[in-house]
Structure 1
Amino acid sequence: MIEIQTTIKVLLKPVYNLLRNILFQILDYYDILKCTQNPLVPPRSMIFIGDGDYEKIGNEFLEYFRELGKLKPNSKVLDVGCGIGRMAVPLVKYLSDEGEYHGFDIVKKGIDWCSENITSKYPKLIFVHADVYNKMYNPRGKEISSEYNFSYESNYFDFVFLTSVFTHMYAKDVENYLGEISRVMKSGGRCLITFFLLNEESEKFIKNGDSSQNLKFQIDENSYTVNKNISESAIGYKEEYIKQLFVNKGLTVEESIYYGSWCGRKNYKSYQDIVIAIKK
């Protein structure tokens, strides 16, 4: 039954996206007429980073950054996979004049919007396009994730975060990105990264049909996807593999992992699992 539901979702997704875009364009027009649109929030029809309240989710993660990532107003911050600025907007008021924000993403329209609407008003927030291939988000990208070098100097950032990025990337790409994250972080710097982690608990929920992510199609020995035709739509990793990968890249995972609700848990921190690591 779950496999049938997944197939139906895949087949109907283009129709859903079309109807969603039409609805959002109508709502965007309404916002313009009523002058209710926050100038730092993109039109609904442009948002490609998932469902949910744009501002609410950004503010939610700012609290995680402060509470779990020890983010300070004067921190130098890197947002890997910044999308269309959802996590950047709440940092506009939080970061001090000494603080810096740098974000990059593979979707150019998101970077262009952020540069025109955020950087133009707040120059300390800088957005860069990375022309990296991804079957879902940048099918014409010229570079590959497994070999991509971040365009930032080593030992520069106090805090690096990725929200719902590694949930769309293959293992070899995750390994390269995590190495780059370690390289650009200062000693003592911290990173916050979200995952779909596969362990005894989450695998049981998936098997019982309770999970919102039916990670049943094996990609390799450490990762699974919900869609064998477009694996990047959602990828989960074995928890022990991820923990060891952090170690291999010179990062120490904090003892507590903040598990998410994605698999059907009743006690959770956010939707995805949150891993915090420190560069020694």
Structure 2
Amino acid sequence: MLDFNAAAKTIADNLRSNPPASLPPIPMMQTIGSNDAQHFIDNMAFYTGDIIRFCQVPLEGNVLDIGSGCGRLALGFERYLAPAAEYAGFDVWEDGVSWCRNTITARRPNFHFQTIAAQDNYYFEDARNTAKNNFDLNFLPDARFDAAFALSVFTHLTRSDARQYLHMLARVLKPGGFAYLTFFVIDEAFHRFVKASGQHRAVTEEEPGVWHAYARQHFFAGFSSERVQEIVSEANLEIVHSEPGSWAHKPNARIYQDLFLVQKPVSAA
């Protein structure tokens, strides 16, 4: 059986010492929060390894990338996954999807990327509109994926959109499959951080357990841990592990955003 801890370390070390030759242009990196190539590579290496370890991704596994952006994780998994594996990514950002198709799919046909339409694309528009998103995710087959992940996606989603993605995960994950999801959890540590630093004073509670602020790529969506548990349970998924993130100077943090490892029950049909 594959030693996932060892495999994760090997791939992360390899990506740091020998980064992919083809990287997206700096403006694309900046759109997803990496100001330079080194930050992009460091995040690629760390999270590719972390996902492999936590989600126990087999070499020939099927992987779903929610919010695939300009391929930061796809480039990492390209180094790891076997030709028989499948990598599916989707995003509302058409330019990012096009870059991934032209660069990654061109050499790895088992890597697929799809643009999805958003009726309210508040990530790229100055203000939210009144249309409610109804994402068409039917192109993703039922019970197909061994692992899925969404990095810095739920941190930019309204509760309605977050619920759609979680219900989709419950449908497309194989029984026993894992999803590695990051959130901004609003808790006492966050409130202490705001008071001490003066940052994020614009964050306001839009509805019980849901906080918003800012606009476009800076749109902030925070959830109470109880609200996260609620929307995960609504989708018939289970939280099997969670960790605090360092973003609000939370103690004992290992990663930047708050992590939830979610599993589809093995008994799920």
Shorter-normalised TM-score: what interval?
0.7 to 0.9
SS in structure 1 of the partner of residue 74 of structure 2: coil
Q: Find the partner of 1:51 among 27, 34, 39.
A: 34
Asked if the contact 1:161–1:191 (Cα under 8 Å) also holds between the matched residues in 2, the reply is yes
Equivalent positions of 1:120-199 (< 5 A) are 120-132=106-118, 133-137=120-124, 146-150=133-137, 151-199=139-187
Of 48-57 and 111-120, more deviation after overlay is shown by: 48-57
Residues 94 and 187 of structure 1, relative CA distance in 2, 3 Å threshold: same
Matched, 1:267 2:255: no
- Measure how far apart 1:39 and its partner are: 4.0
- Measure how far apart 1:46 and its partner are: 2.7
- Measure how far apart 1:265 and its partner are: 2.2
1:203-231 deviation digits (Å, cap 9, x = unpaired): 33233337x6446312211211233x669
Give the Cα–Cα distance (whole angstroms) in 1 for the partners of residues 218 and 206 of structure 2: 10
1:27-80 deviation digits (Å, cap 9, x = unpaired): xxxxxxxxxx95421111232111251111011101111222222211100001
Moved over 3 A (4+): 212-215, 229-232
Residues 139 and 110 of structure 1, relative CA distance in 2, 3 Å threshold: farther
SS in structure 2 of the partner of residue 87 of structure 1: helix
Give the Cα–Cα distance (whole angstroms) in 1 for the partners of residues 91 and 220 of structure 2: 18
Give the Cα–Cα distance (whole angstroms) in 1 for the partners of residues 116 and 234 of structure 2: 25
Please tell me whether Structure 1 or Structure 2 has the larger radius of gyration of its CA atoms. 1
Name the counterpart of 1:226: 213
Residues 231 and 129 of structure 1, relative CA distance in 2, 3 Å threshold: closer
Give the Cα–Cα distance (whole angstroms) in 1 for the partners of residues 227 and 28 of structure 2: 35
Q: Find the partner of 2:197 among 192, 209, 212.
A: 209
Cα RMSD (Å): 2.4
Paired residues, number: 239
Gaps of at least 5 residues in structure 2 are: 1-18
Q: Aligned partner of 1:87: which letter? A: L
Name the counterpart of 1:22: none
Name the counterpart of 2:94: 108
Asked if the contact 2:154–2:162 (Cα under 8 Å) also holds between the matched residues in 1, the reply is yes
Equivalent positions of 1:44-123 (< 5 A) are 44-47=26-29, 48-52=31-35, 53-123=39-109
Q: Aligned partner of 2:122: which letter? A: K
Give the Cα–Cα distance (whole angstroms) in 2 for the partners of residues 166 and 219 of structure 1: 16
Give the Cα–Cα distance (whole angstroms) in 2 for the partners of residues 38 and 91 of structure 1: 11
SS in structure 2 of the partner of residue 90 of structure 1: helix
Matched, 1:277 2:259: no
Q: Aligned partner of 1:182: which letter? A: A
1:77-96 deviation digits (Å, cap 9, x = unpaired): 00011000001001111001
SS in structure 1 of the partner of residue 55 of structure 2: coil
Give the Cα–Cα distance (whole angstroms) in 2 for the partners of residues 90 and 38 of structure 1: 8
Give the Cα–Cα distance (whole angstroms) in 2 for the partners of residues 250 and 45 of structure 1: 39
- Measure how far apart 1:187 and its partner are: 0.7
Asked if the contact 2:117–2:135 (Cα under 8 Å) also holds between the matched residues in 1, the reply is no
Give the Cα–Cα distance (whole angstroms) in 2 for the partners of residues 82 and 138 of structure 1: 19
